Structure formats: C-alpha cells, structure tokens
Structure 1
Amino acid sequence: MEHDFLSAFIVLLIVTDPLGNVPVVISLLRNVPRERRLLVITRECLIATVMLLLFMLVGERLLQAMHLTNVSLEIAGGVILFLIALGMAFPSMGVSFASQTTEGEPMLVPLAIPLIAGPSALATVVLLASRQPDRAWSWTAAIVLAMAVGWVVLASADRLSRRLGPSGLVALERFMGLLLSAMAVEMLISGLHRAFPALAPLAAQ
C-alpha cells in the first residue's frame, strides 16, 4: 500500500487519536492547576513528536537489526491497526487508560507514550520510512502536522468536552474507528499480496 503526504497525515491523525484522548487528558490533568495544563499538553506533544521522528529515522535499521521485512511489518501493522479500530468502534473491546490518575503532572507516561505515540503510531512511521525512504520529508511534515492538529484538539479538551458532550465524543470516536478499520484492511490486503503474489490474480476475480 503506497502512501502520499495526505494519506500518511490522515493515518497518523487517526492512530494518535486526539479526540479519543480528550476524556483521558481531562482525567489525567484534573489535579494539575489550570494555568499549567496547556504547558503540560505542549510538552507531552513535543515528546511524542520527537519519539515518532526518531522511530521514522531509525525504522529501517531497526527492521534490519531484528531481521524483519517491511512486508511482515505491513501485515503486523494492519492487524494492530484493525484491533485498535475495533477498540475505537466498540469501546468495550479496547484498552483504556482513562482509569489511570496521577497525583502530579504526567511526564512522558502515559500521555506522551502510549496515549499519543503509542505502538500503532510508532509502527506506522516505521512502516512509512521502510516502504518509501525517499519521501522522508513528506513523512516528517505529515508527523509534524498530525501532531500539531492533535495539540490543538488536546489543548481544547475542556471546551470540546463541554460542547460535544459524551455522546458527541463517542460518535466521533466510532466514526474514526470505521475509517481506521478500512485503512487497516487495505494495509493487510497489500501486505498479503506482496507476501503471496499468487493471490493477487485471485483477488482481482
């Protein structure tokens, strides 16, 4: 499955899931003074951005060190994304961090990692870099733009929660889960076709 800037941006925006993280951010920052919340969100988004960029840069070397091919990563990534999509569309099947609370400010865990830069986001950037290494600048721009949009959403968490309400947030979360599931299936099909070229003519029938 070949990606361009726009599709990479959309995938990264969905897998980092800023809308789904709104209730979690509100819970995690409940004990943080209101005047410091924007600073904490900004810091955690920057940490997550650095982690994604780092994985993008060392992704190919990581695959080689672990003796993995980008085909296996594409198939595994499709499976992971599909499971995440199921969790978004059907919350009872997903993993939630909403029950985790901290006495002070969250630092690195769990906001930056794994809520923003989670396994699915890290696997996505590694896959992008390994499949199309010549488009590193496009992937960098997609990561930065996706994280910027995520920062705007998380910085507006209190207002979004009040305006959309619980039902509105759930509806958006499930819609994004539907989009992600379609992308995950496409990634799986692409990986299987590359692993088993003989299946391609059969799938076209």
Structure 2
Amino acid sequence: MSPELISSTFLLLLVLDPLGNVPFVQSLLRDLPAAGKRRVILRECAIATGVLLAFLFAGDRLLAVMHLSEPALEISGGLILFLIALRMVFPPAGHGAADTPARSEAFIVPLAVPMIAGPSALAMVLLASRQSGDPWLWVGAVLAASTVNTLILLISDPLARLFGRSGMEAMERLMGLILTTMAVQMLISGLKVAFAA
C-alpha cells in the first residue's frame, strides 16, 4: 500500500469511527441471533460503501451544479469534522447505547446511513473527489476503510467484553483528538486558499 493510500484510509476510518459505533450496533441488534447480526452488519456496511463510492464519483458534478468552490468545501468539511471530533472527545450527557431504542432489524437507516455513511464521511469523499488527481486512490481508501469498519463491527460483541464500556469510551476520545487535529488542518488549508484568492 502506498503512503497516500494508507493515510487516506486512516483518515476515513477515523471519520467512520467503528469503535465508537460498537455500543450503538450492540444496542440496535441486541434482539437478533448471532447469524442475523452478521447478516445485517454485512448488508448495511455494503450499502454504506456503495453510498460513499457514489458520492466519490458524483461529488465533482454535484459541486459544479451547486457552484461550490474548493476552499468553501474544505472549510465546511473541516468544520463538520471538528464538530464530530468534539462530540467524540466530549460526548453529550446521556450519550450511549442505553439511549438507543431496540429494533428487530435495521435497514439502511440508521445503520448504513447516517451511522456509517454519515455527513462527515460524505463530506470527506466529496472533498476528495474535488481535490484528488487520482480518484482510484480514494476508491481503494473507501474499500479498505469499509473493510476494516465491517470487520470491527462483526466482532463488536467480543470487543465490548474485552475493553468494557470505559475502555471503548477512552479509545473513542483518542480517535476524536486525532480527528480534531486533522479538522483544524483542513480549516487552515481552506482559509489559506480562500484569502490568497
């Protein structure tokens, strides 16, 4: 794997936040048997991957139709990532799996969209489609990050038992700190280009 592919995959994986979604998945699918959980997770992750790839290829046309500039997209993407990162580092009161109502089976909403393919991930692939000279690099990043995300969600039960709730929260806060730095860098880059023009 090239360094660009590794960094793109890592950044997208931070935004997808599979570890932070483990309690949500457990709560949402707690009434399903193990085989049913695996089937739903695989299906919803595949749908989310398709949505991300669609935004990756259609993103440039969407930006052209809406007359959005690259600095505007980069600044707005940085703001979205920053807000998501803040929620990861400082979760709101009452945030947790216990607050999610149980359902027999999820279909597209809320597991595929917006939990996996959420606003921040869609904004990132839209920005990538505008900035990247090699869209296939981001196709590889989306597929690699989605694969890792799927594998983590498939082993959500043993992960939750291994780390416990406090361990999962600590890991999510660490990922949030890293994502905050990346969001600030996006803001700085966008503002530089905007004011230089």
Give the TM-score normalised by structure 1: 0.90
Report deviation, 1:168.
Answer: 0.7
Note if contact 2:23-2:96 (Cα within 8 Å) is conserved in structure 1. no
Per-residue CA distance 1:48-83 (angstroms, 9 max, x = gap):
000000000000000011111121010000000000
**What letter corresponds to residue 146 of structure 1 in structure 2?**
A
Partners of 2:93 and 2:15 lie apart in 1 by 16
Alignment of 1:47-126 (within 5 A): 47-92=47-92, 99-126=99-126
Alignment of 1:15-30 (within 5 A): 15-30=15-30
Partners of 2:107 and 2:23 lie apart in 1 by 18
Per-residue CA distance 1:156-191 (angstroms, 9 max, x = gap):
000000000011101100000000000000000000
Per-residue CA distance 1:10-44 (angstroms, 9 max, x = gap):
11101111000000000000111222111100000
**What letter corresponds to residue 145 of structure 1 in structure 2?**
A
Partners of 1:179 and 1:94 lie apart in 2 by 24
Per-residue CA distance 1:111-146 (angstroms, 9 max, x = gap):
0000000000000001001011x3111100000000
Note if contact 1:81-1:184 (Cα within 8 Å) is conserved in structure 2. yes
| Structure 2 partner of 1:7 | 7
Regions of 4+ moved over 4 Å: 93-98
Paired residues, number: 195
Tell me the secondary structure at the aligned position of residue 4 of structure 1. helix
Tell me the secondary structure at the aligned position of residue 134 of structure 2. helix
Alignment of 1:161-200 (within 5 A): 161-197=160-196
What runs of 5+ residues in structure 2 fail to find an aligned partner?
Answer: none
What runs of 5+ residues in structure 1 fail to find an aligned partner?
Answer: 199-205
Partners of 2:141 and 2:94 lie apart in 1 by 26
Partners of 1:18 and 1:74 lie apart in 2 by 24
Report deviation, 1:103.
Answer: 3.2
Report deviation, 1:151.
Answer: 0.6
Partners of 1:186 and 1:98 lie apart in 2 by 34
Alignment of 1:133-152 (within 5 A): 134-152=133-151
Partners of 1:105 and 1:173 lie apart in 2 by 25
Partners of 2:168 and 2:94 lie apart in 1 by 16
Alignment of 1:125-136 (within 5 A): 125-132=125-132, 134-136=133-135
Partners of 1:182 and 1:87 lie apart in 2 by 14
Note if contact 1:86-1:93 (Cα within 8 Å) is conserved in structure 2. no
Identity of aligned residues (%): 51
Tell me the secondary structure at the aligned position of residue 92 of structure 1. coil
| Structure 2 partner of 1:201 | none
**What letter corresponds to residue 126 of structure 2 in structure 1?**
V
Partners of 2:12 and 2:129 lie apart in 1 by 13
